[in-house]
Amino acid sequence: MPVPSGEIILNAFTMNTPVHLTTGLWRHPRDRSRRYLDIDHWIELARTLEGGGIDAMFIADVLGVYDVFGGSPDAALRTGAQVPVNDPLGLIPAMAAATEHLGFGMTASISFEHPFPFARRMSTLDHLTNGRIAWNVVTGYLASGMLNLGVPGQVAHDRRYDIAGEYLRVCYKLWERSWEDDAVILDAAGDVYTDPAKVHPIRHDGEFFRVPGIHLAEPSPQRTPFLYQAGASPRGLRFAGQHAEGVFVASPSVSILAAQVAAVAEAVAAAGRDPRSVPVINQQTVVVAETDAEARRLFSEYLEYADPVGAQVLMSGWTGIDFARLDQDRVLERTDSDAIQTTVDAFTSADPTRTWTPRQIGEYAAIGGDGPVLVGSPETVADALEEIVAASGAGGFNLAAVAVPESWEQIVGLLVPELRRRGRVKEAYRPGTLRAKLGAADRLQAPHPGATITLDPA
């Protein structure tokens, strides 16, 4: 991964909310985002994606509300910007029952649940999906979420990664070492369901967690779910280098993406792993139609419904800048603040020929959030995706929707067939678990720390 053939990984990037990355489109007459409360909506979507050969549906999550903009949740509520937002977990088995190959990723933060019950939840999902689960390991997120857990400030950033590292070690011990493959023997004559000699208490006694017992679930097809991570800081990159099997980024430009791919490869190599084994998956919003002209017309139509204020609400949460307090028509300068410098650099990277006001950023980000949008015919968009991969070394894309389910129908009906013609998307799913479908073995292999972890002796 990316496999030698030059295969491009395509995930459908979504969230259990009516407004994920594109704001205001819930008002479009053809949009059905409001159906997020209906399990049939998700089942239909999963079938559409599997019919189109998408590798996995990835369900983002936040356990908090975007309250930086204006210092309150009011604007997020008004624009529906990732609120209401429901739990992703329950969607997955229902979609898995209606599909055979599609993978299912979910974001879960190590801040919200103890690893012992969490490991069982993931094992349960891996069983119920026949090994099609991926976990996006998040160490913490919106401050508003942490506050509601009684944590007055976010735990120091680097400390969070220390906790996350031990959290994963507890999970690896439970998933990979507690039950041997042949522990469940189902010996009816001898009346033995499980051979207790092949089930081991993990005896974990660490700095943050103490878990003496056995895992409660028997070995699932992947044991450890396929691991995604999205850390971009130096400490986050080191964590990803050690643990991630894929890395999510949302790059504003190919040049930044290329730098991120290089940084991930370096971090993976520094952890003693093969950098080619860890694809970087870039967030990418697309508008695809039969012709370039029709795609442009459709994009203009979408823009009529896009909501720049909602986009600023999301941008405020991501950057820490309260866009409500900025002069909407004053050009942002790198010298305004550290946060604004980072934001200006990102947007300048996307288009060095121009400046940006807060209003312009809201208008730009209203479709696709913190990433560029590709608009065009299947040939045009496929060309652009191939160019991004060639210029950056990225392994694939988290494709985000503009209108639901219309964007997914464009992607599977027009874009995927074109990418298949070019040999960049496989003709059929590979057999086995999600990990195997993505070109690796069914289960983690050395030198990944999940494959090499050992239990302390009794």
Q: How far is the CB of 383 from its own copies (least distance, A)?
A: 35
Q: How far is the CB of 311 from its own copies (least distance, A)?
A: 13
Long-range interactions of 438-441: CB distance < 8 A, separation 24+: 438/1, 438/9, 438/55, 438/103, 438/226, 438/246, 439/1, 439/3, 439/7, 440/1, 440/245, 440/277
Spatial CB neighbours of 371, under 8 Å, sequence gap ≥ 6? 21, 250, 251, 252, 282, 283, 284, 285, 400
Residue 209 or 429: the one with the smaller Cβ distance to its own copies is: 209
Rounded CA gap, 450 and 223, in Å? 10
Rounded CA gap, 280 and 392, in Å? 10
Rounded CA gap, 95 and 214, in Å? 30
Residue 12 or 217: the one with the smaller Cβ distance to its own copies is: 217
127 and 217 Cβ atoms separated by less than 8 Å: yes
Residue 165 or 393: the one with the smaller Cβ distance to its own copies is: 165
Rounded CA gap, 111 and 149, in Å? 9
Rounded CA gap, 24 and 363, in Å? 11
Locate 258 and state its tokens. 């290329």
Q: How far is the CB of 216 from its own copies (least distance, A)?
A: 5
Q: How far is the CB of 78 from its own copies (least distance, A)?
A: 5
Closest CA to 258 of 391, 163, 366: 391
Q: How far is the CB of 388 from its own copies (least distance, A)?
A: 33
Residue 48 or 123: the one with the smaller Cβ distance to its own copies is: 123
Q: How far is the CB of 63 from its own copies (least distance, A)?
A: 6
Locate 70 and state its tokens. 């204006």
Residue 195 or 386: the one with the smaller Cβ distance to its own copies is: 195
Rounded CA gap, 36 and 214, in Å? 37
Residue 91 or 315: the one with the smaller Cβ distance to its own copies is: 91
Q: How far is the CB of 215 from its own copies (least distance, A)?
A: 8
Residue 6 or 84: the one with the smaller Cβ distance to its own copies is: 84
